[in-house]
Structure 1
Amino acid sequence: MSDGSRPSDAAAEKRMKLRYAGRCRLCEAELPAQTTAVYEKSTKTVRCVECQDHSPSEQSTHVAIARSEEAPSQSRAGASARREYERRKEKDEARTRAKWGRLGGVAVALSDERQSTRAWERGAIGEERLGARLDALAPDIAVLHDRRIPGTRANIDHIAVTSAGVWVIDAKRYKGRPTLRIDGGIIRPRTERLFVGGRDCSKLVDGVERQVSLVREVVGEVQVTGALCFVEADWPLIGGAFSLRDLHVLWPKRLTKVLVEQEDGGVDVEAISELLATSFPPA
């Protein structure tokens, strides 16, 4: 909503039998007609019952939230991106209605969304899907979603706190295959660049490195690792994941596997997650 207010969960969602076949917004499972699912009014999409426990309205930071519903660490994956999408969508529709007058409703129905507006929804869905996977790792791993960087308009998509350290995770819903390109190394200085589908996306690495640096300032000697997680990229059947400037580039299933397989480093998960939740409030 443009004024920042949000409807209650009961008003925003409805459990129902589908009249028509659909697809779960989070896990993309096919949902035949007459399947019981959850309809989300705000996004006009459905999700399967299996994903209900990890829905955006129910996502939490596990350890900190368990003690109080008023905890400052409360957050939802993709919340700020979805709010921005709704704001831009409302603005675009209002502009179209003003231009076409009485035919405004018809014009809105027939118009395609602007690419810049649709990009925010794509980003929100990517964060929500990854967020659901990360939430499933609780209670061993604490996860903070959509955290605001104080003093800026930027945010951190996900922060995962494990007994081995902290992970700063940026979710991207890009098409194409992520690849590492290395230039120089003998005569010229070695440079590493990230390409996705042939496009130079190295600026994404710069962004995560800045986020990692900010988190390190908060947690001190605790190990902090950065990751770029591409939700719908064209990954090969064998291999594919790589590191670039100490940053992991991988996909959701691979990321969760890496997180759960880390050796115990003695990190106090609850204390560190609470510290980070205070330092980086919900966006």
Structure 2
Amino acid sequence: MGNDGAGTAGGSAQREYERRRANDEAKLRAEWGRFGGIAVALSNEKQSTRAWASGANGERIVGARLDAMASETVRVLHDRRIPGSRANIDHVVVTPAGVWVVDAKRYKDQRPALVAEGGILRRRIEKLVVGRRDQTKLVDGVLGQVARVSSVVGDQVPVRGMLCFVEADWPLFGGSFAVRGVDVVWPKKMVAGIGRAVGVGVDVTAVSNCLRRAFHAA
């Protein structure tokens, strides 16, 4: 399927969750002494720790959808380290039409929306709102990843960013949109968008191998 050495979707997020959970439990055991086991059993997991497990699950869901697309002409890479950074790229897809940088997000029962301010007499500013919170920083993050990938593959290879929200409160009709060139979608829409893109002659094998070398599996 052309997916050897592709990495494991959600792998680094899962490891971070397990590390944090172990640290949380160790602190409780140290604080409560011989009652530490009971304290661990009765304590709720920290939200900041639980968020890593949720994120890992979202990445696995998106990764499974992308892996189902994988073929000799569709290469999928997961969980790639960004050199010189603690961040990673969740998923990279290479097709004859170009490269997609996909960031998976799990915001259960919250609705992503595009909010535009200004226009005509003022500069138009686009924001991503999820639920009631401004999450435009997610768009900034994807654009940064797109820039890093573009610097590796060169100007002749189209690179596009996607934010894929898992288990969000999407409307029955419509719903997907773009913020500053980043597509905001759900898993089925993500697959459809990548699948219908028109090929421009990208050398899938060469580009995917180049990206493997530049962004190692996390």
Q: Same fold (TM over 0.5)?
A: yes
- CA shift, 1:64, in A, is 5.5
Tell me what 2:185 maps to.
250
Q: Secondary structure at the match of 1:156?
A: strand
Give deviations 1:110-154, integer Å, cap 9, x for gaps.
111001100000000000110011000011311100000001101
Instruction: Decide which of 183, 192, 197 is 2:126's aligned counterpart.
Output: 192
Quick check: 2:80–2:91 contact (8 Å CA) kept in 1?
A: yes
Higher RCO (CA-CA < 8 Å; seq separation 6+): 2
* Counterpart AA for 1:251: W
Query: Superposition pairs for residues 132-147 of structure 1, below 5 Å?
Result: 132-139=64-71, 140-147=73-80
TM-score (norm 1): 0.74
2:52 corresponds, among 120, 135, 141, to 120
The answer to whether the aligner puts 1:172 opposite 2:115 as a matched pair is no
Is the Cα–Cα contact under 8 Å of residues 193 and 200 in structure 1 kept in the other structure? yes
Q: In the aligned structure 2, how far is the partner of 1:168 from the partner of 1:112? A: 35
In the alignment, the residues of structure 1 paired with residue 17 and residue 77 of structure 2 have an alpha-carbon distance, to the nearest angstrom, of: 21
Q: Percent identity?
A: 59
Residues 197-212 of structure 1: matches in 2 within 5 Å?
197-212=131-146
Contact residue 64 and residue 270 of structure 1 kept, 8 A: no
Take 1:96 and 1:74, find their aligned partners in 2: how far apart are those partners? 38
Output the CA distance in 2 between the equivalents of 1:64 and 1:173.
25
User: By how many angstroms is 1:74 displaced?
Assistant: 4.0
- The residue identity in structure 2 corresponding to 1:155 is N
8 Å Cα contact 2:6/2:76 also seen in 1? no
Structure (1 or 2) with the greater helix fraction:
2
Stretch moving more, 259-268 or 123-132: 259-268
Q: Which residue of 1 aligns with 2:175?
A: 240
Counterpart for residue 83 of structure 2: 150
- Please, what is the CA RMSD of the aligned residues? 1.0
The question of whether the paired residues in 2 share the 8 Å contact of 1:64 and 1:274 is answered with no
Moved over 3 A (4+): none
The answer for the alignment partner of 1:91 in structure 2 is 23
Structure 1 gaps, min length 5 = 1-61, 66-72
- C-alpha contact (below 8 Å) 1:96/1:108 kept by paired residues: yes
In structure 2, the gaps of 5 or more residues are: none
1:108 aligns with 2:43: no
Q: What is residue 213 of structure 1 aligned with on the other side? A: 147
Name 2:217's counterpart in structure 1. 282
Matches for 1:40-79 after TM superposition, within 5 Å:
62-63=1-2, 65=4, 73-79=5-11
Count of aligned pairs between the two proteins = 215
Who wins on radius of gyration, i.e. which is larger?
Answer: 1
1:64·1:273 contact (CA, 8 Å) conserved in 2? no
| Residues in 2 aligned to 1:152 and 1:258: alpha-carbon distance in whole angstroms | 29
Task: Give 1:195 deviation, angstroms.
Answer: 0.2
Deviations 1:91-121 (A, max 9, x none): 0001111111111111111111001100000
